[in-house]
């Protein structure tokens, strides 16, 4: 099978951009940004090479695109926070302004304290660790679904066919 690195990088860029700053809230809808990135990776690979890939290869490509997208999104989010664009603070302010009259005072105080708190390296490590788990799962799902959606060049390979490593 042809090399899939270019397709994985493209899917990773899509995932990374859709997981950055305010666009990252798209991932609240069943990790939609991750699913889209995995689908783009598999679509590009099957379309460029005009072939059908097995579900396992699609899932693997989706995972690789998702994890590269997580890395891209993490770097971009850190840069945006350093230049003063903090999407988490904006969302907390929106929730307080919109729902402040129905939220308990303790919850509002906790949200305000969270907005003032400077993120530590441990906070970033926890966030990336959780993201890696979620992105891996949804990347695999997106890649597996895409491998069934985008069939090119004949029948799907059988279990006896060899699959090259990524």
For residue 90, is it left (φ>0), alpha (ψ between -120 and 50) or beta? alpha
Domain annotation covers residue 25: yes
Tell me the whole-structure pTM to 2 decimals.
0.80
Q: Which one, of 112, 8, 116, 111, lies nearest residue 63 by Cα?
A: 8
Domain annotation covers residue 165: no
Domain annotation covers residue 33: yes
Domain annotation covers residue 134: yes
As for how many domains the chain has, the answer is 1
- Cβ neighbours, 10 Å, residue 43: 18
**pLDDT profile of the chain (166 residues), mean per 10:** 92 95 82 96 95 95 98 91 81 78 85 78 89 96 96 62 51
Q: CA 122 to CA 106: how far, in whole Å?
A: 25
SS3 state of residue 39: helix
> Residue 76's domain spans which residues?
5-83+128-149
């Amino acid at each position: 099978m042809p090399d899939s690195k270019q397709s994985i990088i493209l899917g990773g860029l899509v995932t990374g951009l859709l997981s950055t700053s305010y666009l990252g809230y798209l991932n609240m809808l069943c990790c939609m940004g991750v699913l889209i990135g995995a689908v783009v990776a598999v679509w590009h690979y099957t379309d460029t090479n005009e072939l059908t890939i097995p579900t396992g290869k699609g899932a693997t490509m989706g995972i690789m695109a998702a994890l590269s997208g997580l890395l891209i999104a993490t770097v971009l989010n850190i840069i945006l926070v350093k230049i003063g664009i903090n999407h988490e603070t904006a969302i907390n302010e929106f929730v307080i302004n919109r729902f402040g009259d129905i939220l308990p005072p303790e919850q509002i105080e906790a949200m305000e304290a969270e907005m003032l708190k400077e993120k530590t390296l441990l906070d970033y490590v926890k966030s990336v660790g959780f993201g890696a788990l979620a992105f891996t799962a949804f990347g695999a799902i997106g890649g597996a679904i895409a491998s069934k959606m985008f069939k090119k060049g004949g029948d799907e390979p059988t279990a006896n066919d060899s699959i090259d490593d990524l």
